[in-house]
Chain A
Amino acid sequence: MMLVLFGASIILFVSLFVVPGDPIATSQGEGRQLDPATRAALERRYNLDKPLPQQYVGYLGRLAQGDLGESYVYRRSVNTILKEKLGNTAKLAVVAIVLEIILGIMAGIIAAVFRYSFLDVLVTLSTTLAIGVPTLVIGLALQNVFAINLGWLPLQGQSQGVGRSIILPAVTLAAVETALVSRLMRGTMSEVMRADFIRTAYAKGLSKRVVILKHALRNSVIPVLTFLGISFGGLLGGALITETVFNWNGIGLALVGAIQSQDNPIVLGVVTYGVAIFVLVNLVVDVAYAFLDPRIRLE
């Protein structure tokens, strides 16, 4: 895990600092060019006056102490900036994941159990739609309907309370992944439903409810769980668009802004956090397998 983080930090650092570009000039934004004295002061402040390897060693040293440096544009600690944003993105991602699990798995089970029925067709159609329509469009459409036309929910930001404000962005963020989860669930469940042990279970005289929920579900949920683990990374990525549309103050939004303004410490910080979270979540998923499938535990 540490190796992955270390490798990621090298790749990131090099790709951000070696590519052409002038972050200090860019940090000036719309204003005139910087005078040399101010430029020198800023380069000194951000260690950009030192050779690249030395910058990297300095960066690693600070990283080891949990210090991600200071934003070139906002001159605030990246940790402070990301702390407030990470909380917001986490809220959004958790609500989205919960929606995915509940709606996606339920829809998948229903479609698998009632294969080729009207419900199955409905699930297939709606998931095709959710996968086909870009997140941006889903977000804007939800805003138009529920915020501008009906006025039921806030359009953007969090000024009307997180509870009300999170609904639209979470639904937008969850849309595609929910559809994918339900597709996957339907596929694996259909396969499991044809397996011998399910026939045996029925033969033992178990009710359909017990067979589906206890035997079939448990066996078909593992690939879905793997997918959810991977999709968490996707949620952070998908958050770029959702957070922009809904002005949701999360790390997706921070990353978009930072890339545009070449605010490298923020980009590094977000991606470092992202990689760390991704690695952690997948570790949790691996552990969860062991609980769900005794064969993995035995190996």
Chain B
Amino acid sequence: MRITGRSTRVGIAAVCLALVAAACGGSDDDEGAGGQTGQTGGQTGGTVKTGGVFRIPIGEPAAIDPYNARESEGSNVTVRLFTGLVTYDGNAELKMRPGVAESWQANTDCTEWTFKLRRGSKFHNGEEVDANSFVRGWTRASIGTAASQVAYHLQQIEGYEALHATPPTAQTFTGLSVPDPYTLVAKLNAGDCEFDKQLVHPVASPVPSNAGDTRNTTFNEAPVGNGPFMMKPGTKWEHNQRISLVRNDNYFGKKPNIDGIEFVIFPAQGRLEAEYRAFTAGEVDFARIPPTLFKQAEGTYKPQGSFIKSEQPGINYLLINHAKPPFNNADARKAVSMAIDREAINQGVYQGSLTSATAFITPPFGAFHTPGICGDWCKFDVNKAKEAAQRGGLTPGTRIKLAYNNDGGHEPLVQAWKDQLEKNLGLVVELDGVPFAEHLQKRDRGDFDISRAAWSTDYPSADGFTTPLLGSTSEDNDGKYSNPEVDRLLKLSKTQKSDADREKTIEEIERIAIGRDLALAPTYYRTAYRVFDSNKWTGVGLDFFERPTLETASLK
């Protein structure tokens, strides 16, 4: 099913669904909204001190080798070890910056991309990074035998399907060519004017010639990259204990101020509480906040300048099944959305740490975000909800199934939804909670009426929201929303080179799909909260992907 859909999914932003309220890599603690992406502990100017080892708590990663670094844990390490063709500054506008590529451009219909690489940039072992290093890395990750769970980020490149098949029917990408060692040309299956943005994912990293295949445990445990940090010499990943990195003084870009990073690995069970306790005991420099301690942490650490509040691209929403009655009717969908009091739930369940959504594309997307585009449908109004329910045939007594994953702490939220829908519209709501993997399968089968859902993107493109969730042929469009006009506009947006044109198209898509059809009901924008040791550090914030900004961090 995923394969048949793949050609139609070209260009879909790499996406991760949230296991917990807080979407990819996050956790229940830090969902909400408000504030500017960035930091409270910003640098104040003057001489920047160098030195110090910044200690970050993480869970045991599945992998730090870029071929399969797939969750926030692994990619938090991998992005320090590797730098791809392009980079992205999470705190600036949605602009790409040069990485190993000094310049890059696409042909007119964005089906062919040419990257010009800088000369003399080196891997940590001294080997030069050239175009072949990228071809090697991308092929190594994409070949079927690698069974990479993130290789799909490269699926737009011609030849991916044959390479990624099990067993592989090709050994190389037909779409990649290297006219000279410092030029990389990538041919895509279909035009995508935002292909470059997708290359910020760690899977698009270069690897040196001795990386071997993905079963090379030496490389898996101590990857040799080209990034601003490298594995501390003589060390490798100490599983379930720590990963120690030191600054790469030969890095071609801006060198970090800190001497190194120590990733302190915590067990998954009770990790949130454990890392916060470790922070209070001074054993780590940075931590997430358990939801129950949110107010206390804010009260203690905000006055000290140790509290980080950062708006994130993710969104939480009410997924609605269009494939069957009653929600194949727009009025029924609107009724449900208007019958939910987002703000009361925010205050009652989340201690006011969220911001109710009024749009689908979230604030960190800057000009792509259109506040209020959801209109009345995202505002709590029982009378209007009842009227819409009547128009939509959603009569009192109608039984509906509300699906959610029961391993993410969402019970208070879905219980509140259930209570409000039963009280305000007289519906009979059946809660259907199962573990995350099973929940996804149920959604895929359409075995739900409404569902709790969350979404984020792995690269800074609003298309990472629109195409997967609103495109009629997208595999991730579990609600089966389908509108030919939206499909046409989605296709158009792919081939628009100018941001200004794309902004207009995306806004038009959102106006139709959300403002008119209410394909899904946005509920909350995601905000991440963290604490860090501001007595010791400055310049610590969170980037677009909720990672601490260690490129700006320095000793106080």
Contacts and interface: CB of A to CB of B under 8 A. Distances in A.
B268 A33 contact: no
Contact of A249 (B2, B146, B240): B240
Given A35-B152, A244-B269, A249-B241, A156 B19 contact: no
Contacts of A154: 283
Contacts, number: 140
Contact residues on B (Cβ < 8 Å of other chain), bracket: 35 or more
Residue with the greatest number of chain A CB neighbours at <10 A, chosen from B145, B146, B166, B475 = B166
Given A155-B277, A157-B264, A31 B437 contact: no
Contacts of B444: 33
B241 A158 contact: yes
A92 to B, nearest CB: 14
A37 B165 contact: yes
Contact of A30 (B63, B144, B436, B441): B436
Given A22-B438, A35-B2, A38-B149, A247 B274 contact: yes
A151 to B, nearest CB: 8
Interface in A240-270: 243-245, 247, 249, 253, 256-257, 260
Interface string B221-250: 000000000000000000111100000000
A38 B147 contact: yes
Residue with the greatest number of chain B CB neighbours at <10 A, chosen from A30, A156, A244 = A30
A159 B269 CA distance: 19
Nearest to A30: B19
A190 to B, nearest CB: 41
A284 interface: no
Interface string A9-37: 00000000000011001111111111111
A38 B151 contact: yes
Interface stretch (B10-18, B28-36, B383-391): B10-18
A34 B444 CA distance: 12
A218 interface: no
Contact of B70 (A31, A156, A245): A31
Contacts of B149: 27-28, 31, 34, 38
A214 interface: no
Interface string B90-111: 0000000000000000000000
Given A25-B437, A34-B149, A147 B281 contact: yes
A44 B166 contact: yes
Interface string A80-122: 0100110000000000000000000000000000000000000
Given A38-B151, A148-B281, 10 more contacts: A26-B436, A30-B25, A31-B150, A33-B440, A35-B2, A38-B147, A41-B145, A75-B68, A84-B239, A249-B239
Q: Which 10 A-B pairs have the closest CB atoms?
A: A30-B19, A41-B147, A35-B2, A25-B437, A40-B166, A249-B240, A41-B166, A155-B281, A26-B437, A244-B269
30 contacts: A26-B436, A29-B19, A29-B71, A30-B17, A30-B71, A31-B16, A31-B70, A33-B475, A34-B2, A35-B6, A37-B3, A37-B165, A38-B147, A38-B164, A41-B147, A42-B147, A44-B166, A75-B62, A76-B217, A76-B220, A84-B239, A84-B240, A147-B281, A148-B281, A154-B283, A155-B278, A156-B277, A157-B241, A243-B267, A257-B269
Interface of A: 21-22, 25-38, 40-42, 44-45, 73-76, 81, 84-85, 143, 147-148, 151, 154-159, 243-245, 247, 249, 253, 256-257, 260
